[in-house]
A and B are shown apart, each in its own frame.
Chain A
Amino acid sequence: MGDASATAVATEPAIICRGVTKVFESDDSVVHALRGIDFEARPGEMLLLVGPSGCGKTTLLSVVAGILDQTAGEIRVYGQDVHSMKPAQKTAFRLRNIGFVFQQFNLVPSLTAAENVAVPLLLRGVKRAAAVQRGRELLTQVGLADKTEVSPLHLSGGQQQRVAIARAMAPEPRLIVCDEPTASLDGETGQHVMELLKSTAVAADRCVVVVTHDSRVFRFGDRIAEMLDGRITSIRNGAEHG
């Protein structure tokens, strides 16, 4: 980290969304995926985005993460207006601030687990030996100390998702976005992965946003935002907060 603005305004929200809309237009159809989204997320919390299929969860996660442009409205991530940035700045912003976890893990099979974790560090220009060493340390943190030199092909789904979480944490981002991180896993493994996200990925200066439709993992959320048809219908505190 060491980002001056982060420490200076420690209580600043991680995410602010104001009136965010997203319309997908093609020749024969217009889809209003987001119809005016307002919410905030704070550093140190895990926010779940839940709702039925097609309600816009992935779309919202994508615009917040800066890989998709909203149609209207304002999004600030740690005070920065990503939408107004030039493409190159946006890319650099993601590199510095955002970690990604995917349903299908998206690990490179020809790299070892440690090398996969090292990729975001390599992108930042860290030397290979140092980056891979850091990868090993992070894998130890997620309980895979004995799998550092193994290809993801030889890991179970749960183990692969742990590698992916370690990779997301590697560049010490201030926001980690996860789209259905447990959907490809069985119930128990999904619980372990959520536990790991909650215990390791969430930090005082880091916010984790998880899209899920798996009600068995709702209890891990500090807050749960319910979506329906492109809108957030309610935001409530998670079960563990009573």
Chain B
Amino acid sequence: MIYVAWRMLTGDRAKYLSLVIGLAFSVLLMTQQGSIFTGIMMRTFAMVTDVSAARIWVMDPGVQYPDDLKPMKDSDLSRVRDVPGVDWAVPLFKSNGRARTADGNFQTVFVFGLDSSTLLGGPREFVSGKLTDLWTPDSVLVDEAGARRLNVKKGDILELNDRRAYVAGICKATPTFTSFPIIYTTYTRAVKYVPGDRRVLTFVLCSPKDGLSDAELSARISKATGLAAITKDQFIERTLRYYAKNTGIVINFGMTTLLGFVVGLAISMQTLNAFVLDNIRHFGTLKAMGATNFTIAKMVLFQAVVVGLLGYGVGVGATALFGNTAAKNSPQLAFKFTPELMLIAFCAMTLLVAIASVLSIRRVVKLEPAIVFRGS
């Protein structure tokens, strides 16, 4: 009878398509909102993931998120280096600066200063140029989205705090939450690119010696220096907690995603119910002819699962397509469609289909077969 259910479902192309499209739409709504949410949240800790070599971040204990810039003393670097178990520790300078573009406009930027000899913490992917280009005098690297914003390309000149900076290359970096352009340069040069009062050490990046866990070493550093030494994951967690607590992002996106779910539920219940109603005479006939409620329930469930799966596939596909196209056209767009999101959407879809089919199945189970003889 599953075959009959399949044919009943696909027999009317238009209705079948509208069912699938209805469900696909709600999946699209959920995953699209979820992807933008994920994308935005990932930007908040982009610095931590982009600087992948650093397993431990040392900072002022008051720092709550990557853009929360609190100064440390220059001597803190050597204090960290002195902690037993530290394999290497390098400074990372981060500050706001002001860039003046060729057309005379000012733009707030993030200036990163990398350890001049190792360039640890620098970008890894480039559109043009390479990391070691930073060793040429006055050179800086600009992130792709930022370069577009500043309207510069490799070979151009920027003015940073009234100093000349030569754009030696364009690199890839996750755009920042505030979408300020990112400028990478060496530590010694970076401090000159920002006003005097900001010329201080912001982060120390370090890595433990073999056999020592990140957690162990960070605890040791914290204890020895009184600074906050946290692992990469802890930093991410701290950042997310800050944004969740202090901004409306989570609530706002939670609401739209929930809305997507509710709209999806309404659509899928409505369309599935309408489908069952359209076929109520056939289900009644089947019941009169001796189909058990179990058989009928299986048929309805099968139909719901088929449209659910197809709707899920189309919806997820549409979201991926949207993300791809949009990302190509505007790198500023925060959009991250992760496998986790796909799984969540799948669970949500399953829940939608389950609720919708339970309601529809109740309907056919309650159906009196005697209706088949009543006037049409």
Residue positions of A touching B, CB distance < 8 A: 58, 61-62, 65, 67-68, 88, 91-96, 98-100, 102-104, 106, 108-111, 115, 119-120, 122-123, 128, 179
Contacts and interface: CB of A to CB of B under 8 A. Distances in A.
B290 A108 contact: no
Contact of A123 (B11, B282, B295): B295
Nearest to A124: B290
A92 B7 CA distance: 24
Given A100-B372, A102-B372, A104-B376, A111 B289 contact: no
Give the bracket for the number of chain B residues in contact with chain A: 20 to 34
B282 A108 contact: yes
Looking at chain B's contact residues, the main secondary structure is: helix
Contacts of A99: 289
Interface in B1-32: 1, 3-4, 7-8, 10-12
A103 B376 contact: yes
20 contacts: A65-B288, A67-B287, A67-B288, A67-B369, A67-B372, A68-B368, A68-B370, A91-B291, A92-B292, A94-B288, A95-B291, A103-B376, A106-B281, A106-B372, A108-B11, A109-B11, A110-B11, A110-B12, A111-B11, A120-B290
Contacts of B7: 108, 110-111, 115
A61 B8 CA distance: 28
B228 interface: no
Contacts of B368: 67-68
Contact of B285 (A62, A92, A100): A100
A128 B3 contact: yes
A99 B288 CA distance: 9
B290 A91 contact: yes
A123 B373 contact: no
Contacts of A123: 1, 286, 289-291, 295
A106 B370 contact: no
Contacts of B289: 94-95, 99-100, 119-120, 123
A217 to B, nearest CB: 18
Given A106-B281, A123-B1, A58 B373 contact: yes
A179 B289 CA distance: 14
Nearest to A95: B290
Contacts of A115: 4, 7
Top 10 closest pairs, chain A to chain B, by CB: A110-B11, A95-B290, A67-B369, A94-B290, A68-B370, A106-B285, A104-B376, A67-B370, A179-B373, A110-B7
B374 interface: yes
B286 A119 contact: yes
A122 B1 CA distance: 6
B358 to A, nearest CB: 20
Given A100-B289, A106-B285, A109-B11, A122 B4 contact: yes
A78 B373 CA distance: 22
B290 A110 contact: no
A90 to B, nearest CB: 9
Kindly name the residue among A58, A62, A95, A179 whose own CB sees the greatest number of chain B CB atoms within 10 A. A62
A106 B290 contact: no
Contacts of B370: 62, 67-68
A91 B282 contact: no
A134 B300 CA distance: 26
A122 B292 contact: no
Contacts of B292: 88, 91-92
Nearest to A108: B282
A7 B271 CA distance: 50
A96 B8 contact: no
B307 to A, nearest CB: 15
Given A61-B373, A179-B373, A111 B4 contact: yes
A111 B285 CA distance: 14
Nearest to A118: B4
Contacts of A62: 370, 373
Given A65-B288, A96-B290, A110-B10, A119 B372 contact: no
